[in-house]
Amino acid sequence: MGGEKCGVNDEYTNCSNTIVEMERFHWTYLNDYYHPDVISDWISEGCYGEIEKRMGYRISLIQAYLPIYALYESIVNVSINLRNDEFSAPVHKQKAKLIFRNNNLLTFEVPIYIDLRYLFSGQICSYNFQFVPTIFWTGGEFRMFLEFSDNSLELTDNKDYNL
């Protein structure tokens, strides 16, 4: 949800109510040119900076549990915890994958299913995955990355649209 705020109303447009309502309705954007008196009140009350910062979503990787080692063609378990710190969840579905890369830049990718559209404001969600390393798994030390790319064919390979 997003748009314009109503006119000045002491009950509804005060900072404490505004923050609660923007969390409740998952605000993604705000037309801050409409009703400058409301914006002025938010600045005076000290919440406008928080409102600006919390528009949309911010997904953070809180923890990742990985095995110390993994054997070729053996099941590997991975667990990650994600948190959304802002008002909204992403609006569009994203493709997700774990990327493992060694020092030689050899990459092993594992498609995973996470629907960030259901990771709402303030939530921490745990996700568990299993995969089996294939012929591309050459041993040695790997670093893990988590990538979310746009689901549309035109943008899926454009890193500017990735999380």
Q: What is the CATH number of the domain that holds 79?
A: 2.60.40
Domain total of the chain:
2
**Residue 34: how many other CB atoms lie within 10 Å:** 13
User: What is the Cα 54 distance to its own chain's centre?
Assistant: 12
Residue 136 has pLDDT above 70, yes or no: no
35 lies in the same domain as 103: no
Q: What percent of the chain clears pLDDT 90, i.e. is strictly above it?
A: 43
What's the confidence (pLDDT) of residue 135? 65
Q: Do 77 and 32 share a domain, yes or no? A: no
Q: Are residues 152 and 72 in the same domain?
A: yes
Amino acid at 55: M
pLDDT at 83: 96
pTM for the predicted model, two decimal places: 0.82
Per-residue pLDDT tens over the stretch 93-118: 889 999 888 887 788 889 999 999 99
Cα 105 to Cα 157: distance, rounded to the nearest angstrom? 19
Q: Compute the distance between CA of residue 87 and CA of residue 1 in angstroms, rounded to an integer.
A: 10
Tell whether 34 and 63 lie within a shared domain. Answer: no
Residues 61-70 have a mean pLDDT of: 88
The helix or strand, by DSSP H or E, that contains position 94, with its residue range, turns out to be strand 94-102
pLDDT at 35: 84
Last residue of a domain, one of 21, 38, 54: 54
Over residues 117-139, the mean pLDDT reads 86
Q: Are residues 40 and 101 in the same domain?
A: no
Q: How far apart are CA 148 and CA 78, in angstroms?
A: 17
Look up the domain containing 44 and give its range. 2-54
